[in-house]
Amino acid sequence: MQAVGCVESSDLLVLDDQSLARRIADISDELLYAIVHQRYNLRRAIVITSNLLVQDLSKYLADVTMATTILDRLIHRCSTLGFEGKSYRLKQSASRIAIAPEQSEFERLC
């Protein structure tokens, strides 16, 4: 897997917005496993952001055994951070709209 070689040498790998799709394809499960396994063995850092709780990540992966193996390696030496509250993007958008109600929708988004 050529993609694994590209990400194993970096000091930090960031996987942002995991779980935007309902479920990832089997080949993606295998690629994610290969990346996580390799980085786990090399003791390289991974940061994963997701709107899912840790216990719900297994629903995101197609194969339960693969999901368990990936989560096992991710959770073994990790720190998890949970955040609650409204999205800062929604807050900023709401305040922009409230400040300039006479502007067009396009102008508000820019």
Average pLDDT, integer, range 15-19: 76
pLDDT at 40 over 90: yes
pLDDT in tens, 41-97: 999 999 988 877 777 777 777 777 888 888 889 889 888 888 887 777 788 887 777
Side-chain-side CA neighbours of residue 59 (13 Å): 11
Q: Give the global pTM.
A: 0.65
Does residue 59 contact residue 21 with C-beta atoms inside 8 Å? no
Per DSSP, the three-state class of 14 is strand
What distances in angstroms separate CA 59 from CA 29, 47, 53, 84, 92, one per listed residue?
12, 20, 10, 21, 31
Alpha helices (H) in the chain, listed in sequence order: 2-8, 26-42, 57-60, 64-76, 88-99, 105-109
- All structural domains of the chain, each given as residue ranges with its CATH number in brackets, are 2-85 (3.40.50.300)
pLDDT at 109 over 60: no
pLDDT in tens, 41-51: 999 999 988 87
